[in-house]
Structure 1
Amino acid sequence: MATAQAAHDDAPSAARETGVALVGLVVGVLVGYGLWAGFHLDNLHNGLLALTFTAVGLYVVRMRPGHRVGRLFAAVGVLQAVLFFGRQYARHEPRLPAADWLAWVAVWPVPLVIAIAGVAVMAFPDGRMLSPRWRMAAVVMVVLGILLSVASALWPIEDDWDRLVVEHPLQVDGAAWAERTVWPVTVFCYLAFQVLWAAAVIARIRRAGAEEVRQLRWFVYAVAIALCLLLVGAVVWQTPLPGLIALSLIPVAAGIAIFKYRLYDIDPVINKTLVVGAMVLMITVGYVVVVVGVGALLPVSNPLLSLAATAVIALLFEPVRRRAQRLADRLVYGHRATPYEALAQLSAQLPQAPEGLLGGIAATVAKAVGATEVVVWLGDEREMAPAATWPERAGENTAVQAVALADLGSAPRTHLRPVVHRGRVLGSITVTKQAGESLSRAERQLLDDLVAQTGLVIDHQAQAAELKAAARRIVTATDAARRRIERDLHDGVQQRLVTLGLELGGLAERAAVAGDADLAARAESARRQLLEATAELREMARGLHPSVLTQDGLEPALANLADRSPIPVRLRVSVAGRQPAEVEATAYFLISEA
């Protein structure tokens, strides 16, 4: 099940890929033919808007299939391509067939295009309206756009007809009334649409979180510039053309915001472009300063200046490149981890204590893919239990019943990746994104790489736990062996030696009574040696596992050990109560061997 889901995530729909290619081809053909038909400055904004909206929209549709902003941008781009093609075709010299009808097609959809573009602006960046009221406002705007487009299709009310030098193909009664009544309403709606855009963006900024504010920052700059140029152009220059051309900044800024803060795919391209651009600028400036600047001070040209410029550039190249790379990384990635940094952070956590490894993995994955929640699970395909969660749930009971691997990926907005190492399932990672968001292709690849590294981490942690358990078993077994030997010596050999000592003492007494002084002396000497051997054996048995350690604890046992030491010992022990038996035994024998 998990493999099927991963394959579904990694393989974009063939139909979607085909649709993206066809839309891009159609827009490219329309804009290309429009450019071939001639250059008209007042139509340029339509071509720019067609290219920028389509490029950004199709890229978002391809990388984030469920993103509504991508579809809206693509729709605006296609309509703008139609407008550009029709207007360029109508103004071609000599006159082409059906020029009036293509001009008509290039004019009447304008209100609808403006309305759809407004909806795209209002829905940026997550593709959703702020509230049901804003959703209703967007619906009203689209309905008005449709009605005004119908009016524009019936009557030549748009002022674009004055520049197209062709007649409106439909001769419908009421043209004078429409120009006197409908056109002022259209102009008012255009202004109202723009005010609505600005209000929606401002309202979204006021409610946005830190991540969304960073996305909106580029977008707001572009919208503000375009609106200012529209107003200034209309009032000062008597033409909205500067503002119309500046409208192409809106999809560009939207693309920067989406790519910069969501899609890693484009980040390396932007990063390398910034670095290469900085290096080209440095080489150009260095050459000009040395060759042109210094050359102007010399009375005659000197061919050595080129060599000097090359030497200066060679010396400055690497320091400038490093600084440019750092600046590009900061501009492109900000404080977010790049894919390489995410893998490096995960590798750097390996030497940490095993207890904190899984929490570090969850935090690294969340930071790398922009997740709202990451859970690391441990277990096999039949049973898995959560071992670490990001963000940490302080004070929350995390006891969860075991869950099968097949059931983990069933939650909405959850992406499942099983952790497999050497063909064995060790656990899994579940990643939850915000509503309406999915993992981009680069994020999926990065997540797969992190999961592969996680397999090594979990295997390392399991081996460390097994090693720790083995060491504990060795200590326990050794302690048990000492206890058994001490008991056997006490109950077996030591008791027999004591009995033998008593018999030797009795033999010495009987020999003395019988008048055999030599036998009595030998028996008494043997008895004393046997008592000394018994004492040494008793001391050795106590050293194997002293009973005072079991009965009274570590501190009295160490004090007894110090008292029996042949050299002076100064002892200071600070132990908070009794410890586990294996801990006390390990500490005692470590100190006794010191």
Structure 2
Amino acid sequence: MTRRGGEVLPRLAWSALAVTVALVAADVAVATRAVPLFSETAVAVHGFPFVEAASVGCALMGALIVARYPRHPVGWLLIVVGLSTAISLVAEAYAYWVLEAGGPGPTALGGVGAWLAQLCGGQLVIGVLAWLFLLAPDGHLASPRWRYAAAVPTVGSALCLGAILTVDPTTFDLVAANDRFGPTRLVVLSIGFLLILIGMALAWISVLVRLRAATGDERQQLRPIALSAGLAAAGLVMLVTVQQVTGGVQTWLAGVPLFVAFLLMPILFAVAALRYRLYDLDVIIGQTVLVVAGTAFAALGYTALVVLAGRLLEGRAGGFWLSLVATAAVALAFQPLRRFAVRLADRAAYGTRAQPYEALAAFGRRLADAPDPDELLPAVAEAAARAVSAQGARAALAVPGGDPATGTWGWWPAEVEIPHPSFTVRAEGRDLGTIEVVLRRGRSLRPSDVRLLEALADQTGVAFRNTVLAGALAARVADLDRTTRDLAASRARLIEADDAARRTLEAAIARDVLPYLASLPTEIDAARAALAAGDDPHLEALIAGTNRALEALRELTRGVFPAQLARSGLDAALRGLVARAGMTAELTTGIDQHRYPARVEAAVYFCATEAVGSAGGPVAVHLAEVDGDLVLRVGGLDPAFDRRSATDRAEAAGGRLRVEGDVAVLTVPATPIASPIDSPVGAAPAVPAPGAVPGTG
């Protein structure tokens, strides 16, 4: 829609409303000359005052809808209904005045009035109403199949209009109109009106189908419209039924139910618009109430003051000064009235004054249930939107180290073109999140709305703080649980490794040491007997066998826990390890032979042992103390290096192991406990590793 169309169409709609009001006023003026206003003819036949009020109401609702949506079909159909009805009313009143009450004007002009009333009256209006209910509330048919239903009242209205247009307007008779149609036109007119009635029934069914499929706010909006369609259909049935009984005479019982249903139609549309926000007319209606109240007060106040003062002064003051005083008095009195008018407009547009506070109270009750963030954020957004009658709202909670958690309620735009009103949620001086609302077009927040949302933000601050604390606590619990599981798994692996090391040591002793010791008791007994007999006991062989057993045992236990680590410290033990590895290992160290806690020295030593032992080629070992940490760096690792076992040993000492390619870096927090000068031999007792045999070296 172009900008020009958006400006011209609403003006055209308001102009149509003004014309409708003028025609209805003319109808009342003419009808009072023709018949008594509350006679059976005026009420049961002409429809006063029901049809007049319905005509203005339809035009007003249509203008309001077009002002909000310039091309909305429902708005324009309501305007057509109101304007067409007003034309029919004033034409019918004039025709009756001329043809039946001897009013001014020739008989031919009265006939034209009767013809125009028939042309713009019942058949056309009912056909348009059928289209109105088929398209309500969104301006589209319920489905493509309903276009066939829409064709039924269209064809019926076309047949009726064709029959009326072919009659001579100047000879048309208001009372005996059927005599002027002739048999053929009467058949066409009857078929057309029957199709219009069928179309009206189909329109009511369409509204019921929409109502059955609708949910939430849409269902609430459709209920008044469905009631209006049902009342209109019932009124038509009553009209046709009673006229069949009375021989075509329109009595109170025949006409009044349909007229009342017609009057209730714009009222029910207004209920849907105001109570259930149909077409978003609350802003326009609120502004209209304010302007009308101000204009009426200014006009009535000025007129009353001028007339009253004029009678009191009796010409003792000039007209200019009288007008000036009246203008000043009206201006001074308008401000209190303006506040009342604003409250009245707000009441009409946004409901009762208790609604925002009811929303806050309901929100407080929901907070008492201590919902989780998935429920809290939508609850905050809903409370904010309902408190100020906004289209939608969004609540955002800042998450430390992550993206904010958000929850929305109502309509929220996919892309924010302009900033929405935003309120920061704070607690204990910290910004915890925000609350944003989307207002309907043409509306801004009032000071009372700002205070309400600020109060809501304050009330939300405690809940947001509790949610943040609960989230941090849950994260800490999860972290501790994960650490506990890791430690349990590490301990299980250490126990399994300990058992495996013991089994391996036992098998090695049985294989490499026990063969030397198996015959030792027998050989000792033989040497003792030979010595007693004065013979040579051959102790050299016995000593040699014992030394071989000790050497084998020493070789087995050297890699388990060397005595040199406990006696001389980490530097000496690593040098011994590199010396046993021969030319495949190279050591550089910068710890100046300091001693460290036994668990730290054991962790570093055994990690180095596993790294050097698994290497298939040259290995470079570097040990240094950096910022209070012992850092062991081993290069030239074999891919088969047992990383898990080394990691468990590092974590047991509070350290960490990092492997990058063929380089392993072990970092263990450590502080020297004694210098080599102050520490006696063995001053730092060692804790035996799994499977270690203390005292072997």
Normalised TM-score (structure 1): 0.49
Q: Considering Cα pairs closer than 8 Å and 6+ residues apart, tell me whether 1 or 2 has the greater RCO.
A: 1
- Larger gyration radius, structure 1 or structure 2: 2
**TM-score between the two structures when normalised by the length of structure 2:** 0.42
